[in-house]
Structure 1
Amino acid sequence: MSHTRRALFYATVVCILLAAQALPPCARDDEECRDSRMHPDLEEPTGRVFARKFDGDDTNDYWRNQGKEFIKAKLAEKRNTNKAKNVILFLGDGMGITTHSAARNLIGGEEQYFSFEKFPFTGLSKTYAIDRIVPDSANTATAYLCGVKAMKGTIGVSGQVEREDCEAMLNTSTHVYSIAKWAMDAGKSAGVVTTTRITHASPAGVYAHIAERDWEDDSEVKQSCGANTNVKDIAYQLIHGEVGSKLSLMMGGGKRHFVDPKLYVNGTRSDGLNLIEQYQQLSAQNAYVESRAELNNLNFTNVQRVLGIFADSHLKYHLETDENSVQPTLEEMTRKAIEFLSRNEQGYFIFIEGGRIDTAHHDNMARIALDEVVEFSKAIQAARDLTNEEDTLIVVTADHSHSFSYSGYPYRGNDIFARTPANPVDRVPYLTLSYANGPGYETFYDVVNKVRRDPTTLITGDIYDAFPATAPLDSETHGGDDVAVFASGPWSHLFTGTYEQNTIPHLMAYASCLSDGLTACSNAEK
C-alpha cells in the first residue's frame, strides 16, 4: 500500500470512529440494542439485578411446577349450580386492570394476589356508553346494575334520555330499574354501601332515575330545569323514591345534599328540607348513624332500616385516617351490612363500592389510588369470610379504567412509585407510574422552557403526590379499555369470556332467580 493510500485509509477510519461517537450507543433496532441504550447515564450494576427474588425462581422446575399446580386447581373445581340466595356486587370505581396490577406491589409484590384475584372465574366487560367510546360512572352504573346501556351522564334511564333532558326523564317509560329492585320484588332485602357520597353516580344507579348525575340535590336541579320543575333530585329519590324508600341499608357520605343550609350549615339544598329527619320520621325503626362508633354500637334488634352518612361529601381517603378515625372503613361497613341484611331468610342483594380509587386517579394521586385498592380487597375478603360460597354469589368488577400507565422495565422489588431504569432521549428520568392526562402535567413540565422536569426531585413521598401526566387537564380522564370481572359462588362460571357490561345484572339475576324470564330456576324446571 502506498504512503498516500495508507494515509487515506487511516483518515477514513478516524472519521468513522469520530462519527460513531456522535451516534447513539446503538443504531440497531433489536432487543439487545434497545436494552443497551435504555439507561446509558445510570450507574448500572453489573450482572443480573434482583431487588426481590425467590429461592429457585431462576430454575425451570420452579415455573413448571407452578403451572402444573394451577392446572390441578382448575381441574379440582366444581361448577356450583345452586340458587344464589345472596348476591354481593363489589365495584372498584376506576379500578382498571393496570390499577390493580400495579397495586399488588403494595401487598408484597407483583407475584401476590388480591382477595378477588383468587376467585375461580374471571371475564372481561366492555364499558363504552351508547354515545361515548370512553364512559363515565353514570352510564356504566345503569349498565352493570340495570342491565341496559345509556347515555353518558345519565342514571337509571334508557338511551332515549339525553343528558340534562329535564322533560324526557319525567316520562316513566324511560326509567329502568336496578337488580336491587328485582331482588326486593322477590322478597329479598337490598342495600348500598360506598366510600363516596351516597348520591354519587355509582351508588345512585341502585335507586335513582335522573338525566344528569350532578343533580344530587334540588339546588342543582333548579339550575338546569328551572325553579318550578317536577324533577326530583337524587338525594330526594333515595329517601322518597320508589326504590330508595324500600332499601334496607344505605351507607356512605354526602350529608350536604340532604339538608337545607338554614337547618345545617354545610347543607346545599334550597327547598328548606331535612331529608335525614324525614327518613327518621317515616318509622321509629329507621336507624340513623353518623360515626364509626354509632355504627359499631348499633343494636339491630328493633331496627328495620339503617341509614349511615359519615361525611358532608365523600368519605376521607384511607391514608387520611388512623385507628381513631370517626368514619368507618369500607371493611367495617361491609361487615355490618352483611350482618344486618343476613337477617332476611329470603336473602339479599347489596352493592358495595370502593369509590375513591377513581377520585384519586382524577387528581393523578397514584399513591392514594393504589392504597384504596388494598382497602377494597380487604372488604371483599371480609364478605367471603362472612358468607357461604355455596349460596352467596360475589361479583367484583370496575365501571371503567383510567388513563393510567405502569411501564419502564422496573426491577423486581423496585419501589413502584420511583423512577425506572429507562433513560429517555431527553435524558430526564421518568417514573414507573404516570398518566396520559391530568393536573400532573403542570408540575412535571416546564412550559416556558418546553422541557420535562426531573420527577425524582418532585416526588416527595407525600400521599398527595401528583404523578406525571402527558396532557394538561384539570381532572384526569377515564380509559376506554375493558375491565376485569371476578366471580365466586353459585353460577360464577357464567362470568367468563368477554361481554357487554350490561350483561352483568342479567347473569346475577339468572343465578338468583330474580325474574320471570331466563333463570337457573326456570331452566331447572325444563
Structure 2
Amino acid sequence: MKKPARTKLAVAIGAFGLTLSVSAIADDHLEHNQSSVSAQVPTSAAEWFKVGEQSVWVNKRDVARLRKAKNVILFVGDGMGVSTVTAARILEGQIDGRDGEFNRLAFERFSNIAHSVTASANQQTSDSAPTATAMVAGIKANDGAISVDQSIARTEKSDDITAAKSVKTILERAEERGMSTGVVTTARFTHATPAVNYAHIADRDWEADSNLPAGATVKDIARQLLEFPYGDGLEVALGGGRSYFMRDTDADPEYPTQKGRRKDGRDLTAEWSSNYNNSDYIWNQEQFDAVNPANTDHLLGLFERSHMRYEADRKDDAAGEPSLAEMTEKAIKILQKNKKGFYLMVEGGRIDHAHHAGNAYRALTDTIAFSNAVKKAKELTNDKDTLILVTADHSHVFTIAGYPSRGNPILGKTAVDGVVAKDSLGLPYTTLSYANGPGWTGGLQRKEFNSAKESTVAASYAGDKLRPDLTAVDTENPGYMQEATVPMGSETHAGEDVTIYANGPGAYLVHGTLEQNVIYHVMADALGWKNRR
C-alpha cells in the first residue's frame, strides 16, 4: 500500500511540553532552528539531547512542493562572514538580556543553507564588485568589474566595448518581463554591490562623471541609473551617495557648505522626478515617512552625500535617516503592487566598512540591523510565493578566539569564570580581533567613518610592551578598534566561503558548496524562467 506523501506524526517533547505535527511543519514551513522550537536554554545534558532530537524532527519532512516564486528578495550583508554572524548573534542576545550563544539572527532560522565560494575570476580573495556581479549576473568577473565579463580590462573606457562585454542582470531581466524592481542599501547607491544590478562598467570607482578618466565614452554609474533602458526602470532606489547625482554648482540640502560632484551640468535627482509618473525624490526622514506606497510608483531616496550612517550613529543625523528595516518595508510595499511580482536587493553595506575600520561594534550592530530588515521582509511576504536569499559577498579577517566562559561579553576582554585571561606577556586580550588592519597601533582615523561622531577609540602602547595593555581600556566602547596582528591602514577582506540562507520557493536548491554565481541561477529557476538569459 502506498504511503501518503505526508504522514501526521505527533512528537511529544517532554522536557518542553511541546507537540509538533510533522505534516503541519511541512505545510507551514516552520523554521528548523533550535530557537524556533524552544525559547528556553537547556540546562542539562538531557535537555540538550532533547533539543537536538527535536530539531531533527522539525527537519524530518518532505521536500517542499516545487512551486514557482512570484517574488525574489536577495539580502547581501556586505562582508558578513561566518564569524560576523556568530558574534552578532551573541551580541544581540546579550543586548536583549538573553543567552547570546543560544540566540539566532532572523535568517539563521531559514530552511536551507549552503556555502558560497567567493573567489572571483582573477582573485583568490575578492572585492565586492565581482562577487556581487556573480550573484546578479550568473558569471564570475574580475575585481573592480560591474556586470561585465572577465575579458574586459579594468581601464576600458569605451562605451561600445563595455556594451559588448556586458552581461544582463537579474534585475534587468525582471524589468523585461514586466516585474517591479528595487535596490536598497546603506552604502552609496553607486557603490559596487547596489550598482551591479543596473550598471555595466569596467571600474567600480567611476561613480560620477567627475570620476571618469579623460576621453571616456562609457556612462558613469549614477547616469546609468537614470538612463536605464529596460522596462519602466527601477521602482525603488534607496541609499546614500547624493553628491554623485548632484551638480557641482549645487549646495547639498543637508550640508550647505558642500556641493555635488557632477561636472556635466545634470541634476539627476530632478531628472528622476521628471522621468517617471507618480515619482518622488527624498533625502531625509520626514520626507521618507510621508511617502505613501499606494500612490508612489518610483521612489529615489538618497539620505547622505556619501554612505548612510552606521546604525549606531543614525540617531545623530539631524536630518534623520530611515533604518534598513524601514527602507525594506517601504520598498516591499511599493513593489508588491505589481501582480507580475518583483525583484529586490537589500544590502547591509556598512558592515563591511566598519570591519575595514577595525571596529567590531559597528560591524555587529549593523549586522543586527540587517537581521531586523530580513525579519521585516519575512513578515511582509508569503513563504509560498517569495524566495528570500540571505548571503554575503565576501568575509573579513575577523576572529573569535580565546576560551571565554559562556555569557562573557562578546566585545569584552576574554575571561573565564570572571577572571580575565592573560597572554604570554601577562597582558589581557579581547575575544574579538583582526588578522590585519588599523588596530595594530590603536589609532588611525579611517575613511570608513563619515564624521567626528563616528570616531574611533584607540588603545595605546605603553613602555616596551609588544602589545597594548588593555587593563584600563574599555573594549566595549562603541568606538574601540580591536587589535590587529598585521599592520595595515585598512583591514582586508578574507577568502573563505560565506553562507547562503534560503527560504521559500526554490530554497531546496541551496545546499552543499556552490560557486557564488549559482545564486543567480537559483533565483532564475525559482522564478520559473525557462530561458535564464
TM-score by length of 2: 0.83
Q: 1:80-95 counterparts in 2 under 5 A?
A: 80-95=65-80
Q: Does 1:401 align with 2:395?
A: yes
Which residue pairs with 1:151 in the alignment? 142
Q: Tell me by how many angstroms 1:283 deviates.
A: 3.1
Cα RMSD between the aligned structures?
2.1
Q: Are residues 193 and 451 of structure 1, via their aligned partners in 2, closer, same or farther at CA, if it must alter by over 3 Å? A: same
Aligned to 1:69: 54
Q: Secondary structure at the match of 2:239?
A: strand
- For 1:169 and 1:471, the matched residues in 2 are separated by 43
Look up the match of 2:107. Answer: 116
The separation in 2 between residues aligned to 1:240 and 1:447, in whole angstroms, is: 57
1:420 touches 1:429 (CA, 8 Å); kept in 2? yes
- Structure 2 equivalent of residue 196 of structure 1: 187
Distance 2:41 2:393 in 1: 39
Structure 2: which 5+ runs fail to align?
1-38, 94-99, 252-257, 416-420, 443-458
Aligned partner of 1:133: which letter?
Q
| Counterpart in the other structure of 1:437 | 436
How far has the Cα of 1:137 moved from its partner? 0.5
Partner of 2:165: 174
Q: Secondary structure at the match of 1:321?
A: helix
Distance in structure 2 (CA, Å) of the matches to 1:171 and 1:374 = 38
Moved more, 72-81 or 411-420: 72-81
1:105, CA displacement in angstroms?
1.5
Aligned to 1:260: 247
Structure 1 equivalent of residue 91 of structure 2: 106
257, 264, 280: which one aligns with 1:271: 264
Which residue is equivalent to 2:31?
Answer: none
Cα distance per residue 1:64-113 (max 9 Å; x no partner): 10111011100136414111000000000000000010111122201111
The CA deviation string for residues 444-477 of structure 1, in whole angstroms up to 9 with x for no partner, is 5749846111134334543221110111111110
Cα displacement (A) at 1:347: 0.4
* Mapped partners of 1:339, 1:235: distance in 2: 25
Are residues 1:471 and 2:486 paired?
yes
8 Å contact from structure 1 (residues 420, 431) kept in 2: yes
> Partner amino acid for 1:212?
D
Counterpart CA distance in 2 for 1:249 and 1:56 is 41
| Counterpart Cα distance in 1 of 2:247 and 2:333 | 33
Deviation at residue 319 of structure 1 after TM alignment: 0.7
1:373-418: CA deviation from partner (whole Å, max 9, x where unpaired): 1100111011111101000000000000000010101111101111
Q: How far off is 1:348 after superposition?
A: 0.3
Which residue, 329, 350, 354 being the options, matches 1:356?
A: 350
Residues 218-246 of structure 1: CA deviation (Å, up to 9, x unaligned): 1111xxx20x3212111111111335971
How far does the alpha carbon of each residue in 1:340-360 deviate from its partner, in whole angstroms, 9 at most, with x for none?
Answer: 000000000000011110000
**Aligned-partner Cα distance in 1 for 2:148–2:462:** 44
Q: Deviations 1:249-271 (Å, cap 9, x if unpaired)?
A: 11001001011221234211222
Whichever residue aligns with residue 506 of structure 1, its letter is H
Could you say if the C-alpha distance between residues 435 and 244 of structure 1 is closer, same or farther in structure 2, counting changes exceeding 3 Å? Answer: farther
**Is the contact made by 2:387 and 2:503 (CA closer than 8 Å) also made in structure 1?**
yes
Who is 1:4 aligned against? none
The answer as to whether partners of 2:156 and 2:162 remain within 8 angstroms in 1 is: no
**Distance in 2 separating the partners of 1:101 and 1:420:** 16
TM-score by length of 1: 0.84
Map of 1:367 onto structure 2: 361
Q: Specify the code of the residue in structure 1 equivalent to 2:303.
A: F
Which one-letter code corresponds to 1:122 in the other structure?
I
2:10 corresponds in structure 1 to none
Q: Distance in 1 between matches of 2:466 and 2:230?
A: 54
1:16-95 counterparts in 2 under 5 A? Answer: 57=42, 59-76=44-61, 78-95=63-80
Give secondary structure in 2 for the equivalent of 1:102: helix
* Number of corresponding residues: 461
Query: Match for residue 292 of structure 1?
Result: 285
Residue identity in the other structure for 1:366: A
Q: Which residue of the partner structure matches residue 517 of structure 2? A: 502
Tell me the distance in 2 between the aligned counterparts of 1:456 and 1:320.
27
Q: Bigger shift: 177-186 or 196-205?
A: 177-186
- Pair 1:283–1:103, CA change in 2 (3 A): closer
* Structure with higher helix content: 1
The Cα of 1:169 is off from its aligned counterpart by 7.2
Distance 2:249 2:262 in 1: 9
* 1:212 Cα offset (Å): 0.9
Cα distance change of structure 1 residues 231 and 436 upon mapping to structure 2, 3 Å threshold: same
5+ residue gaps in structure 1? 1-53, 519-526
Structure 1 contact 169–210 (Cα < 8 Å) conserved: no
Contact 1:389 1:488 in 2 (8 A): yes
Q: Judge conservation of contact 1:330–1:354 (CA < 8 Å) in 2.
A: yes
Corresponding residue to 1:317 among 310, 326, 338: 310
